[in-house]
Structure 1
């Protein structure tokens, strides 16, 4: 089978050339396979794990894939991807999103314009609608299937559902006082350019909140390359240091960073644990749907535009 060409990347945060050695690789490397083969491994947690190899930037410390899908391939792959975390009960997702929202609530007046990139079905946005006083919403979600759900979440409010992730031209400059990006930065090929464009749409004292996976977490160190966040959807994974480097490169000042609590069904966690250690079980007991809140490896960062670069 002919191996389809992928892109070669320098560090997407600082531009440093990639190191000669990978730090994280699966037993079968994605870069050695063809695109058609990899499409079969794109969706779903519980499959044979194949990932592009990750290398660590010697300058900023970012862990990223020097070889990865090109933009056209990603468009094709994401077009057939189901809503995010469909295997996790919606109440657990709501509890997790509300935990994130409480951080925004502490740092933002929840007024003015609101931007969310990658809202999926709007579980975070619905907290903003319920407890906030935003006068306009811009929701950037490429999955067209969830548009009716998102429109229902912001019903009765001035709002825009835009099927884009990086083109913010529909938002007037300086229009938004808050912007939220939850588990999207891990997916972007050019995260600095995306954040730099977003910064133009924010007020001088706006609040930016992002949530990313934490590749320096204890869980990641325990399970190695089988950590669930190492996957075909993530061209880079951050830690506290590389998140800071990303935001500073894009013209933001970090105000605070936190490890966050995520809620999962116990059965879901156990099945992930078995797969992470190489035991490919098909099912585990449901334990009555019991849900746990744990700090398992996410970073929440609050930032604001750097006024000297604005």
Structure 2
């Protein structure tokens, strides 16, 4: 069944953008970016800001949830914006939650959020089926594209130590060991860790948290990677301080996550594909530096995201569409995914930052 939004778009733009992936059309269709930005500003202007106590009185708390204030700036007031959900084939609700915005710093997060000690509940039952099913298709292509965006760091491992936090079924660790890194990973899904170790040759995946594995807790890593993990962390400041401690002097932290500044979020609201069942917090180029500063990092560099198939060349856009897409992503939000490289200290910036536009956060 064709949605009303698609029918409306076809009425306005005709069929000339049908060959463009849906995630890129908002950047290419004339005038749409301006309309979506206006739509977002209007939503922010008209959505009320309420005290946390009042918000608590309005919202039901789940068994594994807690109410929180903004982790980025401590602001307790809430601006409710979205209610993502998923409906089963039988018409019942598979999952739903509420997303609020911090009125002080603009951070988007799920509230109520998941209790940290219950986070494993989201990944304990056959999570590897998800990681190795449709989700896993072309994952290594996405990893390679991100590594290419920060080429000096990932071009050659050279025996440098790498930790993949939230390693899942080991698809990135497989690439890391092929490139010569001394690599290991950790994950909260036991079946995913088992599958990863069956796949890997030199790298090793561990079940649990970094502090629970002695060889990881000792630190000294040149690189830590978070592939689609950041949005899953209920205590990001604490976690990032641990990541900073695990890095050696000159070390870097690679992040791939959904982009809370994405034009697609502004266009589709609660229907945005970045709102998935297990996502807890949503970062942008404005709010990620706030997290990095609190954790003791020195700087961050961002790389734009134009879309997996576009960057791979499997979706061929016309020269005009390509220029419009690049111009739209570069001048607005950076794309629907956010790729970032965080530098542990000045030594890291000196070592890896020459070819990148580094924003200092300390």
Gaps in structure 1 of 5+ consecutive residues: 29-40, 266-289
Cα deviation code 1:24-61 (max 9, x no counterpart) = 224x7xxxxxxxxxxxx6999x9857532111123332
Q: TM-score, normalised by structure 1?
A: 0.73
The SS at the match of 2:98 is: coil
CA radius of gyration, larger in: 2
- Which of 95, 101, 104 aligns to 1:59? It is 104
Indicate yes or no: 2:253 matched with 1:214: no
Match of 1:287 in 2: none
Cα deviation code 1:250-287 (max 9, x no counterpart) = 1113331022254369xxxxxxxxxxxxxxxxxxxxxx
Matches within 5 A, 1:123-162: 123-131=171-179, 133-134=180-181, 136-155=182-201, 157=202, 159-162=203-206
How far apart, CA to CA, are the structure 1 residues paired with 2:121 and 2:142?
Answer: 29
Q: TM-score, normalised by structure 2?
A: 0.64
Indicate yes or no: 2:339 matched with 1:305: no
Match of 1:231 in 2: 276
Matches within 5 A, 1:213-292: 213-263=258-308, 292=315
- Which of 73, 81, 87 aligns to 1:23? It is 81
Gaps in structure 2 of 5+ consecutive residues: 1-59, 317-324, 330-334, 348-360
How far apart, CA to CA, are the structure 2 residues paired with 1:122 and 1:47?
Answer: 34
Q: Which has the higher contact order (CA 8 A, sep 6+)?
A: 1
Indicate yes or no: 2:82 matched with 1:14: no
**Root-mean-square deviation over aligned CA pairs:** 3.5
Q: CA deviation at 1:176?
A: 0.6
Cα deviation code 1:130-189 (max 9, x no counterpart) = 12x32x32201122213343224442x3x4422124536522544110110011110111
The alpha-carbon distance between structure 1 residues 179 and 52, as it changes in their structure 2 partners (threshold 3 A), is same
How far apart, CA to CA, are the structure 2 residues paired with 1:75 and 1:255?
Answer: 29
Indicate yes or no: 2:165 matched with 1:107: no
The SS at the match of 1:119 is: coil
Q: Which has the higher helix share?
A: 2
How far apart, CA to CA, are the structure 2 residues paired with 1:241 and 1:43?
Answer: 35
Q: CA deviation at 1:73?
A: 4.2
